[in-house]
Amino acid sequence: MEMESTAASTRFHQPHMERKMSAMTCEIFNELRLEGKLCDVVIKVNGFEFNAHKNILCSCSSYFRALFTSGWNNTEKKVRLALMHAEYFMNNVKMNDYVKDSEEMHSRRCYVSVTVLSNFIYAMGGFDGYVRLNTAERYEPETNQWTLIAPMHEQRSDASATTLYGKVYICGGFNGNECLFTAEVYNTESNQWTVIAPMRSRRSGIGVIAYGEHVYAVGGFDGANRLRSAEAYSPVANTWRTIPTMFNPRSNFGIEVVDDLLFVVGGFNGFTTTFNVECYDEKTDEWYDAHDMSIYRSALSCCVVPGLANVGEYAARRDNFTGLALRDEVKYSASTSTLPV
For residue 75, name the pLDDT band (cuts at 50, 70, 90). Answer: low
Same domain, yes or no: 124 and 40: no
* Alpha-helix residue ranges (DSSP H) falling in 36-165: 54-60, 62-69, 86-88
Residues 6+ apart with CB under 8 A from 218: 206, 207, 208, 209, 230, 246, 255, 262, 264
User: What type of residue is 274?
Assistant: T
What DSSP character marks residue 186?
A: E
Share of the chain above pLDDT 70, in %: 72
Residues 40, 67 within the same domain: yes
How many angstroms separate the most distant Cα atoms in the chain? 75
Tell whether 103 is covered by a domain.
no
Number of domains in the chain: 2
- Is residue 122 located within the same domain as residue 264? yes
Residues 179, 243, single domain; the answer is: yes
Q: What integer pLDDT is reported at residue 329 of this predicted model?
A: 34
Instruction: Report how far residue 189's alpha carbon sits from residue 165's, in angstroms, rounded to the nearest whole number.
Output: 13
Judge residue 207's burial from the number of C-beta atoms within 10 Å of its C-beta, 0-12 exposed, 13-18 middle, 19 or more buried. Answer: buried
Q: Give the model's confidence band at 173: pLDDT under 50 very low, under 70 low, under 90 confident, else very high.
A: very high
Judge whether 302 lies within some domain: no
CA within 13 Å, CB half, 300? 22
> Range of 331's domain?
2-97+309-339
Q: To the nearest whole number, what is the mean pLDDT of the chain?
A: 81
121 and 46 within one domain: no
C-alpha 238, offset from chain centre: 29
Strand order in the sheet with 254-258: 254-258, 261-268, 273-281, 286-290
Query: Do residue 130 and residue 217 come from a single domain?
Result: yes
Tell me: the pLDDT tens digits for 217-264?
999 999 999 999 999 999 999 999 999 999 999 999 999 999 899 999
Specify if 255 maps to a domain. yes
Residues 171 and 244 placed together within one structural domain of the fold:
yes
- Whether residue 155 is found in the same domain as residue 286: yes
The average pLDDT across 150-162 equals 98
Q: Is residue 218 part of a domain?
A: yes
Q: In angstroms, rounded to a whole number, what is the distance separating the alpha carbons of residues 157 and 203?
A: 11
28 contacts 324 by C-beta, under 8 angstroms = no
Same domain, 284 and 320: no
Determine the 3-state secondary structure of 59 from DSSP: helix
Are 21 and 122 within one domain?
no
Q: What is the DSSP letter of 328?
A: P
pLDDT, one tens digit per residue, over 302-317 is 988 776 655 444 344 4
